[in-house]
């Protein structure tokens, strides 16, 4: 089942570092940021993780939980998290269930060969469990600031209501 903006997320459950389980209902009442990235310890993914790390306190202050998602296993995630001192958890989607649900598995050309890879994408889920916004095929520079701005606008709307 595909995900659609302004609709609830389909049912899912995933394991994250820190022994945490994340599901479509685990963070109701809280803003949820799921950012999908190709691979631990690669240049773009490291930069993106560090930018989320550096703005993490701002996300928490705005009422958001942040999770990174990739196909890497838990050991790889634990090492990546420790190396970069990430304050948020990483979801190990080794069976690509979430990647397929969110439609981020794409055919890419790498070194002249066709490979299946993860398209760098971020999804913003509101406190009501509805998908608010999505960024697909994004570039790292400036992206985290854009997501933070969107999170703050949800918080402002919530306050005004």
pLDDT tens sequence across 137-148: 888 899 999 999
> Given a cut of 60, is residue 61 above it in pLDDT?
yes
> Given a cut of 60, is residue 78 above it in pLDDT?
yes
Residue 25 domain-assigned?
Answer: no
Residue 21 domain-assigned?
Answer: no
List pLDDT tens digits, range 81-137. 999 999 999 999 999 999 999 999 888 776 788 888 899 999 999 999 999 999 998
Tokens 């993914």 belong to which residue? 45
DSSP class of 9: P
Residue 23 domain-assigned?
Answer: no
Q: Which two structure tokens, joined as six digits, stand for 47?
A: 């930069």
| Distance separating alpha carbons of residues 36 and 121, to the nearest angstrom | 5
Residue 11 domain-assigned?
Answer: no
**Which residues are known catalytic residues?**
45
Distance of CA 15 to the CA centre of its chain: 13
Residue 9 domain-assigned?
Answer: no
- Structurally, how many domains does the chain consist of? 1
Residue 10 domain-assigned?
Answer: no
What's the rounded mean pLDDT across residues 4-21?
Answer: 91
131: domain CATH number is: 3.40.30.10
Residue 101: domain span: 31-160
The rounded mean pLDDT for the chain is 91
Stated as kind and residue range, the H or E segment containing 154 is: helix 143-160
């Amino acid at each position: 089942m595909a995900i659609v903006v302004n609709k609830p997320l389909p049912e899912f459950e995933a394991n994250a570092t820190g022994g945490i389980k994340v599901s479509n209902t685990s963070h109701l009442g809280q803003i949820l940021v799921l950012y999908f990235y190709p691979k631990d310890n690669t240049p773009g993914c490291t930069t993106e993780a560090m930018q989320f790390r550096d703005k993490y306190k701002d996300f928490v202050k705005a009422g958001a939980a942040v999770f990174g998602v990739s196909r890497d296993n838990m050991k790889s995630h634990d090492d990546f998290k420790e190396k970069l001192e990430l304050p948020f958890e990483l979801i190990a989607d080794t069976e690509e269930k979430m990647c397929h649900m969110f439609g981020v598995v794409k055919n890419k050309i790498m070194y002249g060969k066709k490979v299946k890879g993860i398209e760098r994408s971020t999804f913003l889920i509101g406190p009501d469990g509805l998908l608010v916004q999505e960024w697909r095929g994004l570039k790292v520079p400036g992206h985290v600031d854009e997501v933070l701005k969107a999170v703050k606008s949800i918080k402002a709307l919530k306050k005004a209501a």
